[in-house]
Structure 1
Amino acid sequence: MSAAYAYPKSRFEPAALVDLNAKSERERLSRSALKGFFLLADAWNLRDEDARELLGGLSSSAFYEWKKNPDRLLEVDRITRISYLIGIYKALHILYGEKLANEWVGLPNKNAIFSGLSPLAYMQAGGLLAMQVVRKLLDARRGGL
């Protein structure tokens, strides 16, 4: 006799995925993503050079123009970067008090992932994939892993 195993039905409907390839979605999200990024950069006390690097190597002139006027359409890469960074910010504020949450990205880290680098340096060197790794690490810590 074999029993069929199945996951119980969920009471919750999954949220629809956001298609960042759709221009209309990026138009809807870009302004608030940039505003959130600049608030995050201030909270983390990032140097402008570091913030520009996290955005994918944005030029100084474009960075200051974006800061002054966030009404623009972001490319998929940049909006994805900002999404990971905002997720990292949120996870840090769930895990730690405000002071440590805001300093964490700039502190040297002994976790094997970082090899003694700060998470900021790790993300700058590894780009989008490194941001994804940091986000997953913090989400796992939030889940008690």
Structure 2
Amino acid sequence: MQVAEKIREPAQINAVALKAYARVVDAWGLSLKEAAGLADMSESTWKRAKKPDFAGELTRDQLLRLSAVIGIYKSLELYFSEPLARSWFTRPNTGPLFGGSRPVDTAIDGGLPYILAVRTYLDALRGGA
């Protein structure tokens, strides 16, 4: 059986996405408030969601956010060495997308469109565009 066939149920997809997202949040050292805001959840929901027995539903928007954040993490890990890869998202950035703000704040404040813009920005850096 292929991996795609093993993970079909929404609950399984949610569990995998939340586990990966929790690892990214830990690697970046995000606060409870930042992690919840980035995922578009309340802090109490994020506390529950990061537990293995979480049975709640994720919206399509939330799943897309988690996926994009995991993609951002992957891009950073491929593009930069570890100290910078782990801190880039939480350091002030003078790039045109950020205007001196931290990418995490830009992503939280701008919602899904900005999370996707950060992902596109990093993919372009990685691709040399």
TM-score range, shorter chain: 0.7 to 0.9
Give the aligned CA root-mean-square deviation in angstroms.
1.6
**Structure 2 unaligned regions, length at least 5:** none
**How many residue pairs align between the two structures?**
122
2:71 to 76, 80, 87: 87
The change in CA–CA distance for 1:70 and 1:96 in structure 2 (over 3 A counts) is farther
The change in CA–CA distance for 1:70 and 1:138 in structure 2 (over 3 A counts) is farther
More helix by share: 2
Aligned to 2:39: 55
1:90-139 deviations in whole A, cap 9, x for unaligned? 00000001111110001111111111111011001101000010000000
1:40-71 deviations in whole A, cap 9, x for unaligned? 00000000000000011x22322211122354
TM-score by length of 2: 0.87
Aligned to 2:25: 41
CA distance in 1, matches of 2:53, 2:72: 21
CA distance in 1, matches of 2:53, 2:64: 16
Aligned to 2:52: 69
**Structure 1 unaligned regions, length at least 5:** 1-17, 19-23
TM-score by length of 1: 0.78
* Counterpart secondary structure, 1:87: helix
- C-alpha contact (below 8 Å) 1:30/1:71 kept by paired residues: no
Query: Radius of gyration: which is bigger?
Result: 1
